Amino acid sequence: MKQGIHPEYQDATITCACGNVIHTRSTRKTMNVNTCAACHPYFTGAQTMVDTEGRVDAFRKRYANFSLSAKAKK
């Protein structure tokens, strides 16, 4: 590596809006983020499916009696 052209790699602190603090190493000393693995709905299991205009219900109703085995027999 060439000397003097790379940024300094140092200890860093990442602070989430939920209050979670993560200690790591980076070229920046501090970082603030809106979501982290401790509060993001995908990782916490609180993620919900948004059903606009009943589209999921309409799909389930339309294909409720559909069977793959009936298609395979034809």
> Do 25 and 11 form a contact (C-beta atoms < 8 A)?
yes
Indicate the Cα dihedral angle 63, 65, 69, 71, nearest 10°: -60
Verdict on whether the full-model pTM lies above 0.75: no
pLDDT digit string, tens, across residues 4-52: 898 899 999 999 988 999 999 999 999 999 888 888 877 777 766 666 6
Give the bridge partners for 15, in sequence order: 21, 32
Do 46 and 40 meet the contact criterion of CB atoms below 8 Å apart? no
Examine the pLDDT at 70 and tell me if it is beyond 80.
no
pLDDT, greater one: 71 or 5: 5
- Domains recognised in the chain with CATH numbers: 10-73 (4.10.80.400)
